[in-house]
Structure 1
């Protein structure tokens, strides 16, 4: 089975970190969750985003998510794929050059990169998306396009694989998003 790196940060979307972390382990993969400036055993705060009929999602306090590895100690060559959950975290993680280097490593090494929802913000900040069809939460469409990608507006329960990228609009796509990532692994 594969060894996966999962990027976290405070106010990551609760379902988008909890569900993949647990489901990928249940599939037999090793998943190492890390956050810049935090160590194994530290926690990140999560936020729950829901679709309740408003013009955009609502946000509520989520759970505390315990990291199981230390960001500063990871060796990128040890990992087979990268998982990027959404929520608020990608909006500020993309300002961290080391995080961008992590994303570039996986893309340059042609290893699978799975991003959901606002995770596309990290992709767009780190690499050119030219020639790639990328899904994300619709509010991220301008960033995908500015990075040269084709934004694909799909059902919230769907995901798309384009090359080594597996992307989806939000957490309701977990079954399809995780299935497609598992196929690449």
Structure 2
């Protein structure tokens, strides 16, 4: 199974940690680029060490599985309360930053989702999926824009201002859509 996962050509490879009682298979673990190889019996400290290696790799940006595509749908996983929710990207109208939280506004009047995440982190995930940060507190989905105004955007009944810092980037993006 590890060989099949390692041979996957997609950029969304899983992190592999081997746990086994057989040290002779350690070489195979390195061949498939396993994160760690833990011999049984192992203790809690060994487990935490392995998980820390995975976390470190994620934090270094070596894993880009933030946006997942499946069956022609793109989605992202967002932590909401004590759950991790799968959210289809095309259901997002706009995202509002609220200090350490974000509020994701959705289509069809669905209740907005509140998540402990920075707007910057979500911006990095969504930039290549038709989203644009137009204000220090807002990221918009260009697919959901109803009207482009000089210094704001209309999505549904909401008028979202374009911040001075983001005006040049906004103008460039609008020029691409209009021409």
TM over 0.5: no
Q: Which gives a bigger RCO, structure 1 or 2 (Cα 8 Å, sep 6+)?
A: 1
TM-score of the two chains, using structure 2 as the length reference: 0.29
Higher strand share: 2
